[in-house]
Structures are given as structure tokens and as C-alpha cells.
Copies of this chain bind each other. A is one copy, B any other.
Amino acid sequence: MAKQLLGKEVTAALNERIKADVAKLQGKGINPTLCIIRVGENGSDISYEKGATKRCETLGVACEKILLPADVSQDELLATIDKVNKDDHIHGVLLFRPLPKHLNQSVIENALDPAKDVDCMTDGSMSGVFTGKKVGFPPCTPQACMEILDHYGIDCTGKKAVVIGRSLVVGKPAAMMLVKKNATVTICHTKTVDMPAVAKEADILIVAAGRAGVVGADYARAGQTVIDVGINVNAEGKLCGDVDFPAVEPVVDAITPVPGGVGSVTTSVLVGHVVEAAMRKAGE
């Protein structure tokens, strides 16, 4: 039976570190503050907003909201971003995407100051992920994967890591982060030939395939750590990951469950970015 890598344990430890940093900032009169900009009334945006708001409260981080109608003009949204860029008391900004189609998403994303880009939507943050420089912030989900590895003391140096998926939100940044941690990293995707054989080589397997249960026992071997980034709803209406958990769990050494794995860590990573942004600004 594999060790389960539990999001709640990672989050608990992460929250303690964040709270300590918040206390340090407050001691200097700084109140770390997230600003959420939401365009329209998308259900999953509202749900994420609720989670982020609650987590901010728990961790002592202020959370302000700017709600704009779904038909907001490009100019108005850009003016809003310009305002939060210039507002010294706001340290991090979360803008929900995709935006309504009448808006030029790329222009709007890059209007944000990378220093406040806690959710990796600017080219500045993207370059930071790629170069390893402290420009902006990495996306929260792959960083949550790294937090899990770190928390459970899984050293990556010299290990074979395989990432399934090449998206900008998970796959590519996860690969860059694993290279930085000195793993030998392989990036797989839909064009990969004999993916099970490639995945089986992995000591650390990060799965962001975006399809329920596609990673079965043929991808797994003893000794592996499997991090499942997938969040899907199965035929019975239940949440499940990209890994066929009942098939893979008995084979590998360690695995994240879904739900209760990566997903539950990302909100704290986001709030942690706000606090880190405030610390960078304060020169900490």
C-alpha cells in the first residue's frame, strides 16, 4: 500500500509559514492584501473566489474585490488594472480567466505589474518560471506539486521525473521547476509514443493529462511517487483525478489522492504569493 501524500498536511505546514510571515509584515505596519478582479458571474470563478477569500481570512491576509459586469469594456478593465498597479496597499492581484470573448486577453494579462502577478498571467511571470529568476510568480498548481514533494522530503536530485502534459498552467512550469530541483525531466504529451513505458521509468510522475483515469497500472512500478493534478468528474458524478487510483495505488510508493491532494494546496500557495509579494516589496 502506497503512502498517501495528503494536501491537508502540506497546507497545514504551509499555512504556519505564511502566518509567521504575515505576523512579521504586520509588525512593520504592512497589511498584505490580495485584490480579486472578477468579470461576470461565472460559477467556477465565484466558487474559487469564495475559497480564496476564506483562506485569506484564515491567514490574516486582506482580500478586496472588484466586480465588473460581463460586458465591461477593454478600456475600463485596463483602467482598473492600472489603478491596482499604482495602488501601493495592494500586493497581489487575481484576475479570473478566461475573460469574455470581446476582451483581448493577452493585452489585459500583460497590463498587470508582474510584481503583483500572483497567479502567473503575465509574460514577466512566465519568463521567471522559465529562467528561474524572481520575476513575478509561478502558477499555483505546479508549485503546489513542489510543495508536496518538499513537505514529504522527496528529494529530486538525480531522480527521473516524468511530467505528463505540456500546458502553460501545469506541465511546462512543472518541468522547469523539477529541472531546477536537479531532476532529469521528461515531458510527455498527446504525441508521445508508448507513454506507459516512458512513465514507468519515472521515479517521480506528475500527471496533468486532463482526462479522468488515463494513467493506469501500466504506467506504474514500485518505488514511484505519483502526483495527480487532474480534477475530473467521473460517470458516478464523483471527483476523480487523471490517475486510476485503485489500480495505481497498490503498485507505487507514494501517491496523492483526488480530492484531498494537489488541489487543496493551491489556494494556500496563492495566498503565500501575496505575502511573498509584500515581503519582496518590503525588501525582505
**Which residue numbers of A lie inside 8 Å of B, CB to CB?**
106, 123-124, 126-131, 133, 135, 157-159, 166, 168, 172, 175-176, 179, 182-189, 191-193, 198
Contact = CB atoms under 8 A, between A and B. Distances in A.
Contacts of A131: 123, 126, 168
Given A185-B186, A185-B187, 6 more contacts: A127-B127, A130-B168, A130-B176, A131-B168, A184-B187, A184-B191
Which 7 residue pairs across A and B have the least CB separation, nearest first? A123-B127, A130-B130, A126-B127, A182-B191, A127-B127, A186-B186, A158-B193
Please give the count of copies of this chain that the complex contains.
2
26 contacts: A123-B123, A123-B127, A123-B128, A123-B131, A123-B133, A126-B127, A126-B130, A126-B131, A127-B130, A129-B130, A130-B130, A130-B168, A130-B176, A157-B191, A172-B176, A175-B187, A179-B187, A182-B189, A182-B191, A183-B191, A184-B186, A184-B188, A184-B198, A185-B187, A186-B186, A186-B187
Contact of A172 (B123, B158, B179): B179
A157 to B, nearest CB: 5
